[in-house]
Chain A
Amino acid sequence: MGRVAPHREAPLKVPHKEVPLKVSHREAPMGWKNQELCTLSSCHQLWKLSNLGCYGTHRTVTFARASLNCTHDFIRVWGWVHHQWSSEDPQGLGTKGFALPGKTSNVKVILNGGQIVTYLRPDGYFLFQNIPAGTHLIEVAAIGYFFSPVRVDVSARNPGKVQAALTENRRGLSELVLEPLRDEQYYEIREPFSIMSVVKSPMGLMVGFMLVVVFLMPKLVENMDPEEMRRAQEEMRNQGVPSLASLLPGGGRN
């Protein structure tokens, strides 16, 4: 597992009294504990810059709103794609029940329809850099899963303010943890052989009807009055219903 601490060397280290930042009570594993922050007033001229981040392990992710970084001209958006395959998870008891097939290496996170494409780290973490203030769209492309695009609003006027919401169901996200809405099954499942499915099909019904005719009709005929039956046979003969034998070559020879 790697760490990323790109701004360990940043010059300003101001207590974040004006920035509402919550860091998870657990140890932040990704090296983010060294993140430098500065107050809004200390770099007011860089009002457009803001960070949106979340800190913590992938189980307990706390959203940190507004971490302002004075040294660079960027806004970063980072978050996590939730999954179960993490090797970091010692309990292995993913509560969500989504296990992406294959690996995280095949999952892409896409900003604004392809402007920036990024990949996931083994723990599902992703990061976008150089994001201007405004409203953005994050999409996750993972074969086998359906992810809702996420709307992320990075406020220009109020650098601390960042909001995220799923566009599919308009559900707001308190933390940028992306979870698949459902899994996608690309293939039809071959129905296992079952008698019921055969019987229920139209052909099955036809065959069933014919079986009824073949097996039940003689029974019905047996129960008929012999007089009536003879009359019926007489009628049929008069109408000249050909027997099977008379239809076949040589069958009619008599």
Chain B
Amino acid sequence: MAIMSFIFVFFFFSSLQPILSLYEDQVGLMDWHQQYIGKVKQAVFHTHKTGRKRVVASTEQNIIATLDLRSGEIFWRHVLGPNDVVDGIDIALGKYVITLSSGGSILRAWNLPDGQMVWESSLHGPKHSKSLLLTTNLIIEKDNSLIVFSNGRLNAVSCIDGEVLWKKDFEEESLEVQQVIQPPGSDFIYVVGFAASSQFETYKINAKNGELLKHESTAFSGRFSGEVSLVSSETVAALDSTGSILLTISFHNGKISSQQTPVSNLLEDSLGLAVIIHSSVTGIFAIKTDAATIFIRVIGEGKLEVVEKTNHETVVSDALTISEGQQAFALVQHAGSNIHLTVKPAHDWDSNLLKESIKMDQQRGFVHKVFINNYIRTDRSHGFRALIVMEDHSLLLLQQGAIVWSREDGLASIIDVTTSELPVEKAGVSVAKVELNLFEWLKGHVLKLKGTLMLATPEDIAAIQYMRLKSSEKSKMTRDHNGFRKLLIALTRAGKLFALHTGDGRIVWSHLLQSLHKSESCRQPIGLNLHQWQVPHHHALDENPSVLVVGRCGPSSDALGVLSLVDSYTGKEFSSLRLVHSVAQVIPLPYTDSTEQRLHLLIDADKHAHLYPKTPEAIDIFQSEFSNVYWYSVDDDNGIIKGYALKTKCSGNVADEFCFDSRELWSIVLPSESEKIITTATRKLNEAVHTQAKLIADQDVMYKYISSNLLFVATVAPKASGEIGSVTPEESWLVVYLIDTVTGRVLHRMTHHGSQGPVQAVLSENWVVYHYFNLRAHRYEMSVIEIYDQSRADNKDVWKLVVGNHNLTSPVSSYSRAEVITKSQSYFFTHSLKAIAVTLTVKGITSKQLLIGTIGDQVLALDKRFLDPRRSVNPTQAEREEGIIPLTDSLPIIPQSYITHSLRVEGLQSIITVAAKLESTTLVFAHGLDLFFTHYAPSRTYDSLTEDFSYALLLITIVALVAAIFVTWILSQRKELQDRWR
């Protein structure tokens, strides 16, 4: 009976099948999620009240967020629309966050504790202008009010409900309002600005009702340039456009008096291109030139005096009122690997309220912005905390000479991602932080067993959960058998490279790239993409893998390129190149040299091809494959797709044997009046296809047309390239093409009438799935095209196969001009899409699923079988057995198949799939503002035991079985003996 009960228990637990979706307690086992806010533009502290201290920040990614000042965690965060750029934020009434956005036309109030929008108000005006937000303590009609200048109109808005209390238009065409000032304690407002660049205008306005009290203007012989800096509530400083004269203009009581000071009186050398730094410190303003930052003090009636000239990168904060009539501001300067934070009172340059030196990671670059806040220490003196934004977009809080917390917000703007394997585990080298001993291992499993048998106490359950989440197994720094542990290498817009561990998402290393650093020769460096440069296996295992970072010195495609090679294990940049040519395209070639460095072809804007690495060995390898290199270019603006091949060595350049001329092979010119290219898609280079043949129901075979040179192009009517709803169905169409990029042959062309973009497409194996908008049905649609090779279809005759009279072994070539047939079908899909990808497994055996990034920033997995052109309303019995799903007009959305479960990947941009070593599993990384990573098994983990599997139970069962066998053996022997005696 003992055996029976054990067998019973064992079978019971082994019968728990792994299912596709997650249980709630499995969250965080294989997935991680990180939230970011991006580069902070403006920050406002909220520390007055008791309770949680917070900082409200607006970022360049159009986010408004409140962070915990103690830990840097996000309390709440809102991602505004792509065109809804935040112009200003402030806190009103101590409980509302006020944001001005969309070029000053939308004013919103958010509840500070929970982020609930309280009111929304729209402000319009006669013309576009600078947007200024000013919170006041003015009380108009019993309401606290905000003063907003936007679109050429001054508005007073109630803080309580967003109602516009009064407004005043400034309609003069040439007027550029620079500042809106409310002198403290007064009930009037100054609006100052330039008219026609040479006229200085002030308007004095009654703050209670918007009535114009006084208007004065003075002409200035030169022209003003850019901003003005507020020196006091009735004085501003400005610079003329030549950078040679400084102006201080005071408008006390509406009377303008100006003072001109030639810069040469203050400084020996001229300023050149100088700008006034926008700051609000009383009595002091700053000018920034390329080389230096100059602080100038205003003494008395327009007299100027240089107080300091710093040659280092110096950043100034806005003024902070620390007590009645006393202001302070912060300066941050770099000195070697330290930064100096200095807080000075506004009236006295020479004394310091605070001077701290903080060691700063070199990989964070320069300080870009600083925001300060004060607090009262126990001894009633003032303490200061500073929030600094670094060059790599990270955000740090400094207090008492130390970094309290830091946030890597550079990760909110990832440009490209690649992966790298981890080092192989070597014997004797312990790489895990915590190696578990046998006892702990057993203890853990006993706990798990208790959990499965529902004997665990709540503490045990918590311990089990902790153990599962913090398993050292998944965050080891070595390669694992299943290929789950990898490094995700991400290039951010700030030019920083991050390596994230797939196990727990921690940053293994980060490196601010030298090649993408701003310099004299490269003023606007931007990162383009990442490629795997060296992936050592087999014979070059001692080498570390490395990645190639491609960038260029400017936004235009003919800007010179830059290259960096970075070691993936250490993050060291071992080579950094400034190229003499531009980079339009990077083609990783399928050849590697003896040290496993991959050959790359960089195509410049003049269609010359440059080979990297520049070694003789590389050129030898390349020469032998010279005639097999083809590429194509897509010119969206002119609607031209061209194919190229290599011709000869570059003729113009002397002695550059790594440069090649190209020749144009073919070109497809789309009629620009009726078609505009909006999307292209190609197959992933590393995609594995397991079999070319596809068995269909009636014992028939279809051969997939598998070519790595397939290009999907979608075009729309030029009129319909705008937003949804801008065209009628009659004047809009979507045309899709499948093009062979070697011969330029159009394999398939299809028109969807009454449809428009945006189009999201993914191409894999022999199929392409694309998503577009159907204007007639007014719904989104997804279509699938499958392409089959007809020339192989007659290989059904067994005799032919036996005799060898078949063409199955002939190579797939673009020149063989195969007969292809296509099948296509369309379905409705509910949501808009932000990204689409397909699962990728190591051998391509596992069935595919589409990963769909929806408008709600979730990632949905959808089985490819739902997008099978052979679906019909009533599939035959044979077809049903094959797994064909009856046709429905729309694709199902099963909530359990959201792989992001209840999380959002805010601002989702792209989904990246990487094959694990385990055939069943694909690694999915989705990034946008947030990062999300998980393992996903499209056909369940058929090749491994699930994480749930209890080894302890198995062990106990085996031990019990063995024991039972011996017991029964003894019993049986005894019985037999008794039988013999009888």
A contact set with B: CB distance below 8 Å? 2-6, 8-9, 31, 72, 74, 103-105, 108, 110, 112-122, 127, 129, 132, 134-137, 139, 141-144, 146, 148-149, 151, 167-168, 184-188, 190, 193, 198, 201-204, 206-207, 210-211, 214, 243-245, 248, 251, 254
| Contacts A112-B723, A132-B726 given; does A188 touch B832 at CB 8 Å | no
Q: Given the complex of chains A and B, what is the CA–CA distance between A233 and B230 in angstroms?
A: 111
Contact partners of B14 in chain A: CB under 8 A: 203
Q: Told that A4-B121, A146-B895 touch, could you supply 13 new A-B pairs with CB distance under 8 A?
A: A4-B120, A9-B164, A105-B114, A113-B724, A113-B773, A116-B83, A116-B84, A141-B855, A146-B893, A167-B777, A187-B21, A190-B25, A245-B969
A9 proximity list for chain B (CB < 8 A): 164, 167
Give which listed residue, A105, A116, A188, contacts B117 with CB less than 8 A.
A105
Chain B interface residue count, CB cutoff 8 Å, equals 80
Q: Give A251 to B976 CA distance when docked, in angstroms.
A: 10
User: For residue B122, which residues in chain A have a CB less than 8 angstroms away from its CB?
Assistant: 6, 129
Which residues, 119 to 142 on B, are CB-close (under 8 Å) to A?
A: 119-122, 124
B117 contacts across to A, CB distance below 8 A: 105, 119-122
Chain A residues whose CB sits within 8 angstroms of the CB of B858 once the complex forms: 143
Question: Which 3 pairs between the two chains have the least Cβ-Cβ distance?
Answer: A141-B856, A2-B119, A184-B895
Tell me whether A151 and B855 are in contact (CB under 8 A).
Answer: no
A251 touches B902 (CB 8 A): no
Asked if B109 contacts A186 (CB within 8 A), the reply is no
* CB proximity of B941 to chain A, nearest CB, Å: 15
A103→B114 contact, CB < 8 A: yes
B24 in complex: contacting residue of A113, A187, A193, CB < 8 Å: A187
Distance of A123 Cα from B775 Cα, bound (Å):
32
Provide the B956-977 mask, 1 if CB < 8 A to any CB of A, else 0.
Answer: 0000000001001100110010
B507 at the interface (CB under 8 A from A): no
Residue B12 at the A interface, CB < 8 A?
A: yes
Q: Is residue B955 within 8 Å, beta carbon to beta carbon, of the partner chain?
A: no
Assess the A105–B116 pair: CB atoms within 8 A.
yes
Contact for B15 among A6, A119, A203, CB less than 8 A: A203
A182 CB to nearest B CB, Å: 9
B724 touches A186 (CB 8 A): no
B residues less than 8 Å from A120 (CB atoms): 117
Q: Of all chain B residues, which has the CB nearest A129?
A: B122
Chain A residues in 8 Å Cβ range of B27: 187
| B161 lies within 8 A of A31 (CB) | yes
Please name all residues of chain B whose beta carbon is closer than 8 Å to the beta carbon of A136 when the two chains form the complex. 724-725
Q: Which residues of A contact B479 (CB under 8 A)?
A: none
Residues of B within 8 A of A188 (CB): 19, 21-23, 896
Say whether B162 faces chain A, with CB atoms less than 8 Å apart: yes
B76 interface residue (CB < 8 Å to A) = yes
Residues in B with CB closer than 8 Å to A184 are 895, 898
- Can you name the residue of chain B whose Cβ is closest to the Cβ of A136? B725
> Is the CB of B115 closer than 8 A to any CB of chain A?
yes
Binds A, one of B3-11, B483-491, B844-852: B3-11
Q: Which residue of B lies closest to A253 (CB)?
A: B973
Which residues of B sit under 8 angstroms from A144, Cβ to Cβ? 902
Contact yes or no, A139 B831, CB < 8 A: yes
Which residues of chain B come closer than 8 Å to A202, judged between CB atoms?
A: 15
A41 to B896, CA, bound (A): 54
Cβ of B778 < 8 Å from any Cβ of A? Answer: yes
Neighbour of B164 across the interface among A8, A141, A248, CB < 8 A: A8
Of all chain A residues, which has the CB nearest B13?
A203
A208: min CB distance to chain B, Å: 10
| Residue B940, interface by CB 8 Å | no
Q: Which listed residue (A31, A113, A135, A210) contacts B4, Cβ 8 A?
A: A210
Chain B residues within an 8 Å CB radius of A141: 855-857
Question: Cα distance A118–B110 when bound, in Å?
Answer: 13
Known A119-B78, A141-B855, A244-B972; contact A135-B778, beta-carbon cutoff 8 A: yes
B779 within 8 A of A: yes
CA of A142 to CA of B856, assembled, Å: 7
Chain A residues contacting B902 (CB-CB under 8 Å) are 143-144, 186-187
Q: Between A and B, how many residue pairs show CB distances below 8 Å?
A: 194
Judge whether B969 and A4 touch: CB under 8 Å: no
Chain A's closest residue to B895 (CB) is: A184
**C-alpha spacing A115/B78, complex, angstroms:** 16
- Bound CA–CA A72/B111 (angstroms): 29
**A244 CA to B965 CA, complexed, in Å:** 10
Known contacts A115-B723, A185-B895, A187-B896; is-contact A143 B161 (Cβ 8 Å)? no
One of B4, B167, B724, B901 near A187 (C-beta < 8 A): B901
A139 to B832, Cβ gap below 8 A?
Answer: yes
User: Does B209 interact with chain A (Cβ within 8 Å)?
Assistant: no
7 A-B residue pairs with Cβ-Cβ distance under 8 Å, sorted by A, are: A108-B856, A121-B118, A137-B832, A141-B855, A185-B896, A202-B15, A210-B4
Please give, as numbers and ranges, the residues of chain A lying within 8 Å of B724 by CB-CB distance: 112-113, 115, 135-137
Give the contacting residue for B160; candidates A2, A72, A137; CB below 8 A: A2
Q: Determine whether B401 belongs to the interface, using a CB cutoff of 8 Å to chain A.
A: no
Q: Which residues of A contact B106 (CB under 8 A)?
A: 129
Q: Which residue of B lies closest to A247 (CB)?
A: B969
The chain B residue with its CB closest to the CB of A152 is B725
Closest residue of chain A to B856 (Cβ to Cβ) is A141
Most chain B beta-carbon contacts within 10 A, residue among A127, A143, A206, A211: A143
A3, A117, A129, A135: the one within 8 Å of B163 (CB)? A3
B82 contacts A by Cβ under 8 Å: yes
Hey, which chain A residues are within 8 Å of B773, CB to CB? 113, 137
Contact A4 B779 (CB under 8 A): no
Query: Which chain B residues lie closer than 8 Å to A151 at the CB level?
Result: 778
Closest CB in chain B relative to A111 CB, distance in Å: 9
Contacts A113-B855, A211-B4 given; indicate if A134 touches B118 (C-beta within 8 A).
no
Q: Does B481 contact A (CB under 8 A)?
A: no
Q: How far is the CA of A114 from the CA of B773 in the complex (A)?
A: 14
Q: Are B901 and A116 in contact (CB under 8 A)?
A: no
Question: Among the listed A8, A114, A122, which residue makes an inter-chain contact with B855, where contact means beta carbons less than 8 Å apart?
Answer: A114
B454 touches A193 (CB 8 A): yes
**Complex formed: what's the CA distance from A114 to B909 in Å?**
13
- Contact partner, A207, options B7, B160, B780, Cβ 8 Å: B7
Cβ-closest chain A residue relative to B454: A193
Contact partner of A117 among B81, B105, B778, CB < 8 A?
B81
Cβ of A171 to closest chain B Cβ, rounded Å: 13
